[in-house]
Amino acid sequence: MAGSFGVRGEVRLKSFCAIPDDIATYGPLASEDGTTTYDVRLVRSVKNGFAARLGGVSTKEQADALKGLRLYVGRDRLPELPDDEYYHADLIGLDVFDTGGTRLGRVKSVLNHGASDLLEIHGPGLKNTVLLPFTLAAVPTVDLASGRIVADPPDGLF
């Protein structure tokens, strides 16, 4: 959250959902440690997010105290994705192998700088992390069940 919005306890809420206003459809959102949950009601769109009401927050001071709070929804409440789409959280931690079976490393994060997703790979023998384009050509196989990705990286990347 980006802090209070107005004087009646509304907060400025940023949504990272594919359809931003879906954030209010998942039910209560929880703090990162899971100790506090908030019902969310979107009031209106504002620049870079929404003005929202959170259950239990009724004053500007309470809203200000939540600035920087990250809210989450349980993975089990997210919609199922088509076969060729993945949640970033599901990719992080997967082992990456080349098409010959050699382990290249592990997915540290998924980045997007506008054009397409990049898998940040780190592992033994790598001085720096490697950014692998998350395209069908470079990543032909994602096997979530076995916790592995098979990659065909461009020459010289690793």
Bigger pLDDT: 113 vs 43 = 43
Each residue of 67-110: pLDDT tens digit? 999 999 988 888 888 888 899 999 999 999 999 999 999 999 99
Is residue 122's pLDDT more than 90?
Answer: yes
Q: Are 19 and 27 within 8 A, CB to CB?
A: no
What is 66-114 written as a DSSP string?
TTT--EE--GGGSPP--TT---HHHHTT-EEEETTS-EEEEEEEEEESS
Query: CA 154, CA 90: separation in Å to the nearest integer?
Result: 24
CATH classification number, 88-151, choose in 2.130.10.10, 1.10.10.10, 2.30.30.240, 3.40.50.300: 2.30.30.240
Residue labelled with tokens 């209560």: 28
Whether this model's pTM surpasses 0.85: no
Does an H or E element contain 116, and which?
none
Which pLDDT belongs to residue 139?
Answer: 96
Confidence band, pLDDT 50/70/90 cuts, at residue 18: confident
- Neighbouring C-beta atoms of residue 132, cutoff 10 Å: 24
DSSP state of 156: T
Confidence band, pLDDT 50/70/90 cuts, at residue 54: very high
| CATH 2.30.30.240 location in the chain | 88-151
Which pLDDT belongs to residue 57?
Answer: 92
